[in-house]
Structure 1
Amino acid sequence: MSRDVQERESEFVDRLVHINRVAKVVKGGKRFGFAALVVVGDQKGRVGFGHGKAREVPEAIRKATEQAKRQMIRVPLRDARTLHHDITGRHGAGKVVLRAAVPGTGIIAGGPMRAVFETLGINDIVAKSTGTSNPYNMVRATFDALKRVDSPRAVASRRGLKVSELQARRGETAVEA
Structure 2
Amino acid sequence: MAEEKDKKQSSRRRSNRRTEKESEWQERVVQIRRVTKVVKGGKKLSFRAIVIVGNERGQVGVGVGKASDVIGAVRKGVADGKKHLVSVPLTRDQSIPHPSTGEGGAAQVLIRPAAPGTGVIAGGAVRTVLELAGVKNVLAKRLGSKSPLNNARAALEALSSLRTFQEVAQSRDIPVEQLY
- Paired letter, 1:66: A
Alignment of 1:73-88 (within 5 A): 73-79=86-92, 81-88=94-101
Shift of 1:143: 1.2
Residues 73-116 of structure 1, C-alpha deviations (whole Å, 9 max, x = no match): 11101116111001111122101100100011111111100110
**Residue matched to 1:166:** 179
Could you say what secondary structure the match of 1:15 adopts?
Answer: strand
Give yes or no for contact 2:93–2:116 (8 Å, CA) kept in 1: no
**Alpha-carbon distance between aligned partners in 2 of 1:139 and 1:100, rounded to the nearest angstrom:** 18
- How many pairs align? 165
Other-structure match for 1:117: 130
Counterpart amino acid of residue 89 in structure 1: G
Which of 56, 68, 90 matches 1:43? 56
* Structure 2: tracts of 5 or more residues without a match: 1-12
Deviation at 1:8, TM superposition (A): 10
2:162 is aligned to: 149
Maintained 8 Å contact 1:80/1:122: no
**1:54 aligned residue (67, 82, 98):** 67
The amino acid of 1:40's aligned partner reads V
Q: Give 4+ residue runs of structure 1 displaced > 6 Å after superposition.
A: none
- Kept in 1, the 8 Å contact 2:50–2:63? The answer is yes
Aligned partners of 1:44 and 1:80 also within 8 Å: no
Structure 2 residue matching 1:60: 3-state secondary structure: helix
Q: Which residue of 2 aligns with 1:175?
A: none
Which runs of no fewer than 5 residues in structure 1 stay unpaired? 168-177
**C-alpha deviation, 1:28, in angstroms:** 6.7
Identity of aligned residues (%): 43
- Report the counterpart of residue 134 of structure 1 in structure 2: 147
Compute the TM-score of the two structures, normalised by the length of structure 1.
Answer: 0.86
Aligned position for 2:6: none
Q: Which amino acid aligns with 1:74?
A: S
Give 1:37 deviation, angstroms: 0.6
Q: CA RMSD in A?
A: 2.0
User: Contact conserved, 2:93 with 2:137, CA < 8 A, in 1?
Assistant: no
- Relative distance call for 1:133 and 1:20 in structure 2 (3 A) is same
**Cα distance between partner residues in 1 of 2:41 and 2:95:** 54
Superposed CA offset, 1:120-158 (max 9, x none): 001111100111100111011111111110100100101
